[in-house]
Structure 1
Amino acid sequence: MADIKSEDGKKERHYLFYDGETVSGKVNVTLKKYGSKLECQGIKVEFIGKIELYYVRGNHHEFTSLVKELACPGELMQNMSYAFEFLNVEKPLELYTGSNVRLRYFLRVTIVRRLSDIIKEMDIVVHTLSCYPEMNNSIKMEVGIEDCLHIEFEYNKSKYHLKDVIAGKIYFLLVRIKIKHMEIAIIKRETTGSGNNVMVKG
């Protein structure tokens, strides 16, 4: 199990899977009361990976979609349980909840009926095993005011894991003004979309 943040900022616990891992389980269909029946045109379970943009509600992109048929059309006369298995599922992207966008994986069960389908969704968490970038050079950059202040920043690498420590050095090459204080800040910036539809949020 793993904790993830929902759209409203609350923490929720969901089942955790890795890329290439099999996703399996059971779908339990429970009738409302003893002796009742449920007529359906079939029951299916889907494994879906989707990217949802918050600022364009209709703009969803499904990058993974697998379907398993669990039951043929007919009548359910009693509570039923259906096993399913999505073998060695590719999950190329890691779960992400940002300011503008959400990448989610979920299972969707649909009981197909004539008038209105019964649909139930369950989110899952996906983590990918770390793969380190081939090129991860150190960074050097200079900033300042001409003939007044020259500062050089040096970072030990250009790409970091979320749990990494950022280590570096600051060199004062030229100081001809009075410095009262200095601050360093880490700023998160999220870029979504492409072309004219790019959204940047920091």
Structure 2
Amino acid sequence: MNYLVGAFKPPCNIFISFADGRSRKQVPLKKENGKTVMVALFQSQESIVGEVVIEPVHRKKVEHNGVKIELLGQIELYFDRGNFYDFTSLVRELDIPGELYERKTYPFEFSTVEMPYESYNGVNVRLRYILKVTISRNYVGNIVEYQEFVVRNYTPPPSINNSIKMEVGIEDCLHIEFEYSKSKHHLKDVIIGKIYFLLVRIKLKNMDLEIRRRESTGSGPNTYVETETLAKFELMDGAPVRGESIPIRLFLSPYELTPTYQNINNKFSVKYYLNLVLVDEEDRRYFKQQEITMYRLLETS
């Protein structure tokens, strides 16, 4: 039985490493099996340099038709699971056809790589970057090894960042104005605002502010929209009176947010909303939603 198990093991081991792997920042990445691993972090226009080590098992001869490494940027839609759409595809040939008898090291370099989109793991879509090493062989299957890494891209603070002012009205029963200090926030920002009660003729029980993420995938009749409530913040517990104002101060850093993504490779979008929820004493709920723009600011530490 042990012989049969060994028969299906690849005849060599492949190791992929980055040249600056010891000093480069590592970030957590959640795998498909639910486990979290630490992987290297890059941004667009960086060079990706490293080496591939191939080590035949028990020094047995490995015949091959060439060795190559690919850098792939891929999008996978979960309703089309298993089909990856490559938006970035670079290849380097590491070895010509021949035979391997002992451990061999191949350096590789992809210079100033254009990686326009960020890594993303959503409800219905995944965007990933991988290094893929392939040892091509005749008659038997190719030997393949993957190394995933994460890409994050940074944006300077916007030159124009207007405040948000909106009104909520329910016939002649309720008139509320709310104001947020700005419409664009970085991922570690603080949402600051105020709510003014101009007319209150219904008995409100409580009021919450929610942060919602809306992920849209596909297009046309195959569009899937998934909305998640990422945070819920109680603004008020009890009945307000006319003329009262309530301050808002919501810290974003505790939540796992991403930047706003607009129509990434015509495959998906991610948008964020502030959702104001009012509940009266008869448990009727009133909503007012406002889109905000999220961006990733370069961390100084």
**Is the structural similarity TM-score above 0.5?**
yes
Aligned-residue Cα RMSD (Å) equals 1.5
Q: Which residue in the other structure is 1:7 paired with?
A: 32
Q: Which of 62, 69, 90 is the equivalent residue of 1:38?
A: 62
TM-score (norm 2): 0.64
Gaps of 5+ in 2: 1-25, 228-301
C-alpha distance in 1 between matches for 2:63 and 2:33 = 37
Is 1:153 aligned with 2:178? yes
- TM-score, normalisation: structure 1: 0.93
The equivalent of 1:181 in structure 2 is 206
- The equivalent residue for 2:222 is 197
Partner of 1:25: 50
Paired residue for 1:80? 104
Please give the residue correspondences for 1:27-106 in structure 2 after superposition, counting only pairs within 5 Å.
27-34=52-59, 36-106=60-130
Name the CA distance, whole Å, in 1 between partners of 2:55 and 2:141: 18
1:172 is aligned to 197
Per-residue deviation at 1:113? 0.5
Q: Any idea what the Cα deviations from partners look like across 1:54-113, whole Å, max 9, x if unmatched?
A: 122144221110000000011112211100000111111111111111111010000000
**More relative contact order, 1 or 2 (CA 8 Å, 6+ apart):** 1
Report the CA distance shift for 1:13/1:69 in structure 2 as closer, same or farther (over 3 A). Answer: same
1:171 to partner: Cα distance: 1.2
Separation in 2, partners of 1:140, 1:7:
42
Rounded Cα–Cα distance in structure 1 between residues aligned with 2:34 and 2:190: 26
Q: Give 1:49's aligned amino acid.
A: G
Note the residue ranges of structure 1 that are not aligned, 5 or more in a row.
none
TM-aligned CA deviation for residue 177 of structure 1: 1.6
Matched positions, count: 201
1:187 is displaced (CA, Å) by 1.7
